[in-house]
Amino acid sequence: MSESKANSILDTLETAFPDARLLLDFRNPFELLVATVLAAQAPDERVNQITPHLFQRFPDALSMAEAPLEAIEEAIKTVSYFRQKARFLKEMSKVLVERFEGKVPASLEELVTLPGVGRKTANVVLANAFSIPALPVDTHVARVAQRLGLAKSNDAEKIEMELCAQIPQERWIRASHLLGFLGRRVCKARKPLCEQCPVTRWCDFFEKNR
DNA sequence: ATCCCGAGGG
DNA sequence: CCCTCTGGAT
């Protein structure tokens, strides 16, 4: 698998979708971390709907760590798994206060020790709050990578490694935005809109199904 | 029924 | 790796 193929795909996507970006547009690490935890298996639009009030009420790890669980549940009750997530957020905030001086750590190893934070969420925070090279692989990025022949594995972590091996480090963050955007808007799981896709000339999936 | 930018436990 | 968690929209 050549690096030039991945670069060509990214160049084409950048031209086609210059505005592709993370839908959860928070630079504050704590806010991005919380929003990303909430966004697991829930539409980003619904998360963006509640975050203004949520961060007014709980602006930092300390206020969330000290809040009653019921108060957090009430503030996020419109998102999926809100009880489980409220528990994660409170426990996560307590760990931030007790072990990280109330600040979000800027390393993968530390981030994944936080309750409710897995590899994908950790990479989102690293890339978008700290501008540290990382390539978060969600279901969309994974699917697109497989269809384009950029990854052969089914495991998200292995797909991340396969992508990182083919994409220059300085493009990892942008690659996650572009591949994610393509996956959400065009290269859908169910009914992919191949006629709208700018990168079909590199796509195994398109070749096979035409 | 299936999807939504998953994580944790078995 | 597979299952569950759990809720609303399409």
State what percent of residues in chain A have pLDDT above 70. Answer: 99
> pLDDT tens digits, residue range A12-65?
999 999 999 888 888 899 999 999 999 988 888 889 989 999 999 999 999 999
Can you give the pLDDT at residue A1? Answer: 59
Distance, in Å, from the CA atom of A58 to the CA atom of A94, rounded to the nearest integer, reads 13
Question: What's the mean pLDDT when you consider all of chain A?
Answer: 92
- Closest nucleotide to A143 by C1' from CA: B5
- Read off the pLDDT band of A151 (50, 70, 90): very high
Q: What is the pTM of this model?
A: 0.94
Active site residue A138: yes
> Rounded to the nearest 5°, which phi and psi values hold at A2?
-90, 150
- The reply, when asked if residue A164 is annotated as ligand binding, is no
Residue nearest to nucleotide B2 (CA to C1'): A190
Distance, in Å, from the CA atom of A57 to the CA atom of A41, rounded to the nearest integer, reads 24
Distance A21 CA to B4 C1' (A): 18
Distance, in Å, from the CA atom of A16 to the CA atom of A167, rounded to the nearest integer, reads 19
Distance, in Å, from the CA atom of A86 to the CA atom of A97, rounded to the nearest integer, reads 17
- Closest nucleotide to A181 by C1' from CA: B5
- Read off the pLDDT band of A114 (50, 70, 90): very high
Residues 6+ apart with CB under 8 A from A113: A95
